[in-house]
Amino acid sequence: MSFAVRPLCITLSISLLWLALAPVQAEDHKVQCIVPAKPGGGMDQTCKLARQAMPASDMQINYLPGGVGAVAWSSIVAQRKNEPNTLVAYSGGSLLNLAEGKFGRSEPSHVRWVAAIGTDYGMIAVRADSPYQNLRDLMKAIKDKPAAVAIGAGGTIGSQDWLKMAQLSKQSKIDPKSLRLVAFEGGGESFTALLAGHVQAVSGDASEASLHAREGKIRVLAVLSDARLPGPLANVPTAHEQGYDVTWPIIRGVYMGPQVSEAEYQKWVSHFQTVMATPAFDEMRKAHGLYPFAMTGKALTDYIERAVQNYRTQAQEFGQVR
């Protein structure tokens, strides 16, 4: 059975790709954080948190969507490799795409990993007026009639949002190939489609869901964490509580170009080490829907090397490594 996928907003023409990869003539002293997705998702929150941690919020946020992070990665690796004041947001999804070969012939060592500034968790949500009251309701509906349940995801087959659903499907004795996935360029678009009724469910991240849950427009069916999360989603049960052995932690942070000097790189490492040690940063991180996780420099680089290998192993189980 073939995958039912609508690859929205991720297919770029050669001309658009070239424009995206062209160097930006920004002022050298102006710090910028690149969001490798459209506004409104978890990557956006990462850059906004990084900006809030800057003195006088002296950081410009630029959006460079495409290929679910591939365009921004290529831009930094090929065109902007030595810009000392350019940071790029990443997530566990970026590491998964890297593991699956979706960033081309790339390895973690092709960029400099600066900081992990928080962690997020996967979640599954529906609209507040949905007939699905819990995760079991949703999975039963998918099993009974897969084509009737469109699932919004930030990325296409093989993305972390797809892999979450694939793991839940496998435990429900559903062929993941039967999932009706609707691919978007980031979580912000997925929730827009959900609220408009274009999809019936969203596989996304807790930080994204928290923003909409406060407004009462969505119902989060499950969080993919070891225990219930504090904050706006405190009453949402875990997938494990509902009989599914699936967890999905998502680290979030920033990286920079491979040829940035050691001195400039260490300046940023020290900055994040200092700011993340303050109680004020804990409150800022919480306001952006993220949970405590702080790592920088060499320790982070080693952690990411291991994480990419772990993601590669998980993806191989579902035939998603190129």
Band the pLDDT of 93: cuts 50, 70, 90: confident
Say yes or no to pLDDT of 103 above 50: yes
Which pLDDT value is given to residue 16? 32
Say yes or no to pLDDT of 29 above 90: no
Sign of CA dihedral 74, 78, 83, 84: positive
Band the pLDDT of 322: cuts 50, 70, 90: low
Domain with CATH 3.40.190.10 in the chain: 122-242
Torsion angle defined by CA atoms of residues 59, 65, 69 and 73, in that order, rounded to the nearest 10 degrees: -60
Say yes or no to pLDDT of 51 above 50: yes
Superfamily of domain 122-242: Periplasmic binding protein-like II (3.40.190.10)
Mean pLDDT for the stretch of residues 59-74: 91
The larger pLDDT score, comparing residue 1 to residue 35, is at 35
Torsion angle defined by CA atoms of residues 229, 34, 255 and 100, in that order, rounded to the nearest 10 degrees: 80
Average pLDDT of the residues of the chain: 88
Lowest mean pLDDT among 3-7, 45-49, 291-295, 310-314: 3-7
Mean pLDDT for the stretch of residues 88-96: 92
Which pLDDT value is given to residue 22? 35
Say yes or no to pLDDT of 37 above 70: yes
Which pLDDT value is given to residue 7? 36
- State the CB neighbour count (10 A cutoff) for residue 25: 5
Domain with CATH 3.40.190.150 in the chain: 10-120+249-317
Say yes or no to pLDDT of 1 above 50: no
Lowest mean pLDDT among 6-15, 79-88, 149-158, 309-318: 6-15
Indicate the SS3 state at residue 192.
helix
- Pick the closest to residue 34 from 63, 76, 77 (CA basis): 63
Whole-prediction pTM: 0.77
Say yes or no to pLDDT of 10 above 70: no
Band the pLDDT of 227: cuts 50, 70, 90: very high
Query: Could you tell me if 48 and 284 are in contact, meaning their C-beta atoms sit under 8 angstroms apart?
Result: no
At the topology level, CATH places domain 10-120+249-317 in D-Maltodextrin-Binding Protein; domain 2 (3.40.190)
